[in-house]
Chains A and B, each alone.
Chain A
Amino acid sequence: MPTPAAPLLTVRDLAVTFGVRGQRAVHAVDEVSFEIRPGQHVGLVGESGSGKSVTSLAIMGLLPKRGVRTSGEVLWGGRNLLTADPDELSRLRGREIAMVFQDPMTSLNPVVPIGVQVSEVIRRHEKADRREAQDRAEALLRQVGIPDPGRRLREYPHQLSGGMRQRVLIAIAIACGPKLLIADEPTTALDVTIQAQVLEVLKELVADTNAALLLITHDLGVVAGICDEVNVMYSGRIVESTTRNRLFATPRHPYTGGLLESIPRLDSPRGAPLRPIPGSPNQTIPWTEGCAFAPRCGNRIDECTSSPPPLKYEGDRDLRCYNPLSDPARAEAVQA
């Protein structure tokens, strides 16, 4: 096996805290570290409020300045994006790192034609005149599977369906051939058949352009289809991080395991009752006092509520748990 390439993006000990002076601070993201190598597809999975979107916004430098404190490092080509100046960031955004947002209606400008919105990125980052940028925009729309792109360029977002709008966003994101594409819930607002179309487009594009992908989603099914590496987040921290195959075959963190068992699946026997995770995501204890998942956890031991579990390397994955689910493969090996 060739030696792995140097990471494209390194996130180290990222922490984001929201709070106005005088009020209790909210630790939205804490101790988040991961790497993305060129061409790699990494998933960031979690429920609402787990900090996955805040992580992506912090990487892109899109968090508001007031009332937000960030610490740690986001390294891109040797530079720390958290401390980079705004001009440098805006040269980077759209060109080297691009983002696809969840809701295509709110992230497109409703009063500007599609063609202008797509070519804007090209004209901003590259020396291209209007004509040339329009031609490239047309080619991009064709690439993401929009029929009759020439006419669509002159239309406005409201004239397009949800799936088409999401394709336009993807076209904008890939316009300058970014090395990293961050997709934040790119298909959550779409119907299943349209979701399948858009995921297919996304998959083909990242394969063709060899861009790395950071996919943020709550849907484990979407992750299973695309990502090589998966980070599972709970209440602002990564609780389990490993390759896709290991994660789905042998989930070790009780939260990951619980999620996989509680989802009704098309391929499981129908009579089997669902085993839900008890409680709700807002029933947590602060990470400083123990494991945030402890109040809902079936594997809880005394340690879980007395000291915060560290993220430790456990042979084949990073795990933040004192009493993980057993690993069947390892149990067999020990017995043999």
Chain B
Amino acid sequence: MSALVSVEGLKVHFPIRSGIVLNRKVGAVKAVDGVDLEIEEGRTLGLVGESGCGKSTLGRALLRLSPVTEGKVIFDGVDVAGLRGEELRRIRQDMQMVFQDPLASLNPRQSVETILTEPLRAHGIAYDRRNRVRELLDQVGMPPSAAQKYPHEFSGGQRQRIGIARAIALEPRFVIADEPVSALDVSIQAQVLNLLEELQQKLGLTYLVIAHDLAVVRHVSDEVAVMYLGGIVEQAPSDDLYSQPFHPYTKALMSAVPVPDPRIEATRERILLQGDLPSPANPPAGCRFHTRCPFRQEARCDTERPELRLIGPGHRVACHYAEDIAAGRITAHEVTPEEVFAG
């Protein structure tokens, strides 16, 4: 199988400017700093990380909704990063996005019919108004009567269904879902996740699912990439990643997720990270995670940035000592939290 989307050395830096007259660039927030990714056609890649790690910026950069500072985003053989104007607009037909907060991403003054047909009008695609809207609503499990209603008349779960219907209106090949369920009530999340899976099977979609919830990502993804401070620290097939995480950050992240089962909660081992996420404007030298890593080793971790390297079949990790940690040759030690100042 070939990759539908591949990202090479992607960097997205936002300049920090100072001064009114001279407006000099005094630094940069390195939101995404050297990411390589591949997503095969018809598969789902999950992207997890904490807030501020750059996962949403990465997703937006793939659609060129954020400017690309450096690197390539190759979609079906075309480098999206270099496109502009009409060419970019045309390729966006094939790449669509589902946003986190459906209330904020749907225009409150447009009826559902207008919302769903706007992408078709924008791209100048001829359509049969009645049938296309009904078909789209049917695909996301909504009644045809919804067409004449407005976003405020729906519940959160239904709004997200409308957001998904809008994303598939252009029959895209690639859909980026940025936190598709985190704004929804617990009992609704499963409905939307099931809908996303169903649509993938029916329409042969390729997904990038961005979320902070590891359990959600694991459920929907074939492959999962873990992001920390602008870089990917581990990437593996979903089952492998969760059964044998190599990177200390992945381990900590997984052990931090509460499990709704008191027996497991009482017995499982916790790796409690100290301190906060460092600022992406001034990331730590060497391995970005070394300031919070319980397995940090002198001299190497804080000077040399580890490359993402193959450690098992399809399993890549960016840690100098992944094997040593797995074999128990390096044990966890105390970490003194380093000071982090909020922006």
Contacts and interface: CB of A to CB of B under 8 A. Distances in A.
Interface of A: 47-48, 147-148, 158-164, 191-197, 199-200, 218-225, 244-245, 248, 258-260, 262-267, 270, 273-278, 280-283
B156 interface: yes
Contact of B265 (A219, A224, A263, A273): A224
Contact of A147 (B193, B259, B270, B337): B337
Contacts of B264: 224, 267
Contact of B261 (A191, A222, A248): A248
B215 A224 contact: no
| Residue of B216, B238, B239, B261 with most chain A CB atoms under a 10 A cut-off | B261
Nearest to B340: A161
A195 B50 CA distance: 11
Interface of B: 50-51, 155-158, 185-191, 193-194, 212-216, 218-219, 238-239, 242, 252-265, 270, 272-274, 276-277, 336-337, 339-342
Contacts of B253: 192-193
A309 to B, nearest CB: 19
A264 B342 contact: no
| Residue of B157, B242, B257 with most chain A CB atoms under a 10 A cut-off | B257
B185 A218 contact: yes
B261 A192 contact: no
A262 B50 contact: no
A225 B190 contact: no
Contacts of B255: 196
A263 B186 contact: yes
A274 B340 CA distance: 39
A304 to B, nearest CB: 18
Given A264-B190, A274-B190, A281-B185, A224 B256 contact: no
Contact of B259 (A47, A160, A224): A224
Contacts of A219: 186, 258
Given A224-B261, A276-B194, A160 B337 contact: no
A282 B194 contact: no
A196 B270 contact: yes
A70 B258 CA distance: 35
B87 to A, nearest CB: 38
A283 B190 CA distance: 17
Given A147-B337, A220-B260, A225 B265 contact: yes
Contact of B188 (A199, A267, A273, A280): A280
B259 to A, nearest CB: 6
Nearest to A195: B256
